[in-house]
Chains A and B, each alone.
Chain A
Amino acid sequence: MVDLSQYLPILLFLGVAIAISSIFVFLPMGVARLTGAHKPTAAKLAEYECGFPAFEDSRSQFDVRFYLVAILFIIFDLEAAFLFPWAVSLEEIGIAGWATMMVFLFELIIGFIYAWKVGALEWE
């Protein structure tokens, strides 16, 4: 059974961490209002561009390769996820379990080689 008492400090830590970082963000905003540093102007609030108004919407369409990287990442991440329980129970499952994982890895290496050959990993 999982020792839940070990997870409670993590929850508490999450609360503390959020509290600390929120204080860091919001306290200076208040302080700036009190000290008079808070003086927004239209030019100051404009988005950064090299001295001229922006030509176009900044959220432009992006190269499809970024999606491909994300998809490949999901697949390899899942593969790694399957490896974790295998790594800790290798002694128990023996050579049969080891061979099972090698077959699994082989299946994915085929995919990896395909990705390499097609040029999905190319950037220029």
Chain B
Amino acid sequence: MTEFFQTHLGAGFGWFVANLILILLIALPLMLAVAMIIYADRKIWAAIALRKGPNVVGPFGLLQSFADGLKVFLQETIIPSASNRGLFLMAPIITFTVALLAWAVIPFGPGMVLADINVGLLYVLAISSLGVYGVVISGWASNSKYPFFSAMRAAAQMISYEVSIGFILISVILWAGTSNLGGIIDAQRGTILGIFNANALNPLLFPIAVLFFISSLAETARAPFDLTEAESELVAGYQTEYSSMAFALFWLGEYANVILMCALNALLFWGGWLPPVDWAPLYYVPGIIWFFLKIGICFFMFSWVKATVPRYRYDQLMRLGWKIFLPISLFWVFLVSGYLMITRYGALS
């Protein structure tokens, strides 16, 4: 596509237009996906709780999220008089920008990636570590008690689980031998007996795949780790003072992050855009469909967990992060690297 625009519009401008279109092709469907996935989330909880869920707006309630969006859009933006105006409005912008930005390096199919950088995984880690700021700034700028408590909790929780996520990523990089996301997917081709394309089916990597799934729940503050929004203690958490689209942006950002984490689960452990089985006819199905399918399954597990598991207590949350996940993921770095040294790189021979 870039070539097409460059031949018609000149090298510089054509490149600009082509990339702008590509970016919008990522960002706009992402927002649509967020709207649909909020609906899916509510439907899944409803089904698990034997309720109907949203079913009024549009066929099967499919347009519920858009109705909510329109309602929120027409609301008044309330800026508390005690708040710090500039930062108060900046916090949702940061949250949403960061949630969008990480998608720049996610490969949707073979070669279908906006920015194919060598340090792709590090980039995702770096961008997701910025997510703390939206929360902390909103909590502080609100100048209100509950948002502030919630922001501090959220920050401590996010950084605690980022540690083990970092070590888990290292195990994956060790196995793939590269930190380029496309390379990590390619390394999963036929990884199990030449049949299955998934790291997670590798007995050595399966435990950290589980660990990563749980850590991503904690990192996105989903149930059972949604202490930041524990409504019995903290009202609505750091979003208490927000209204209108500023409030909705937190929601959109949160769900965009959830989808991102699902995508990462799919990329790192379930073969990304590769079909689950290394069998030629399956490769006729476009990779992007496999990828979306995997994201969908992962998201279903996210909402399944949310509908069934009770919320953790804060001390239990910190204990799980620091005393269980951190040692295990650290030990796994040792285990995976040792195994690779012996088998793949021939340390003993």
Question: In the complex they form, do A and B come into direct contact, defined as C-beta atoms under 8 angstroms apart?
Answer: yes
Task: Give Cα distance in the complex from A124 to B313, angstroms.
Answer: 9
Q: Choose among A10, A39, A91, A109 the residue that contacts B177 (Cβ–Cβ < 8 A).
A: A91
Bound Cα distance from A102 to B331, whole angstroms: 11
Q: Is the interface of B mostly helix, strand, loop or mixed?
A: helix
Instruction: With A24-B248, A28-B75, A38-B76 given, name 20 new contacts (CB 8 A).
Output: A7-B117, A10-B104, A10-B114, A18-B97, A21-B100, A24-B245, A25-B93, A47-B142, A48-B146, A48-B241, A49-B144, A54-B145, A69-B318, A80-B163, A80-B169, A88-B178, A112-B330, A121-B318, A123-B319, A124-B315
The A interface, classified by DSSP as helix, strand, loop or mixed, is: helix
Give bound CA distance, A62 to B180, whole Å. Answer: 40
Q: Which of B118, B123, B155, B327 contacts A2 (CB 8 A)?
A: B118
Residues of A within 8 A of B (CB): 2-3, 6-10, 12-14, 16-18, 20-22, 24-29, 31-32, 35, 37-40, 42, 44-49, 54, 58-60, 62, 66, 69-70, 72-73, 76-77, 80, 83-84, 87-88, 90-91, 94-95, 98, 101-102, 105, 109, 112, 116, 121-124
The residue that B143 contacts in the complex, of A26, A32, A58, A70, with Cβ under 8 A, is A58
Q: How far apart sit A10 and B117, CA to CA, in the bound complex (Å)?
A: 10
Q: A38-B76, A46-B82 are in contact. Are A58 and B100 (CB under 8 A)?
A: no
B19 partner residues in chain A, CB cutoff 8 A: 8-9, 12
Check A66 against B156 for contact (C-beta < 8 Å): yes
Q: Are A98 and B27 in contact (CB under 8 A)?
A: no
B133-192 CB contacts (< 8 Å) to partner A: 140, 142-148, 152, 155-156, 159-160, 162-163, 166-167, 169-170, 173-174, 177-179
